[in-house]
Amino acid sequence: MHLTVLGDLNWLAVIVATIAYFALGAVWYAEFAFGKAWQRAAGWDLNPPENAGAGIYAVPLVTCFTATLATAMVGAASGTDNIMEGILLGLVVGVGIALPVMFVTGTYDMTKPAPKTFAAIGAGYHIVGLALAGAILGQWT
């Protein structure tokens, strides 16, 4: 694979997939979904942080873009060109990269009351988010 693959990407698909992946986080980490369990596992109190401006969303948005861009590059290099192949690509990247990275962190992070729960919720988000991004990328190729 060469960086020239960047010129072959459907950038609108990358942007839409990034926004979908990022927006999934709003649902995933909401109180009615995994938000309370994730906060407890992290050792955070359940009150919203004071002075939490828009800046707290910048890092997750950038990381969703980076993961989506990398997935799009792998998809272009592997010839992923339909929704099912895109979902499979997202699952492979999610289960093959995000899951192990989150779980090694969770296994050895003794600063959290429930590090494995914290890692499981985070890994689940990335697996589903990358499958969603992969579906969009595969469909729009």
- Locate the domains of the chain by residue range: 7-46+53-139
Q: Which phi and psi (to 5°) does residue 72 adopt?
A: -65, -40
Other CB atoms closer than 10 Å to residue 20's CB: what's the count? Answer: 16
Specify the pTM.
0.92
- Model confidence over 116-139: pLDDT tens digits? 999 999 999 999 999 999 999 999
Q: What's the rounded Cα separation, in Å, for the pair 132 and 24? A: 9
Q: What's the rounded Cα separation, in Å, for the pair 45 and 53? A: 18
pLDDT of residue 49: 64
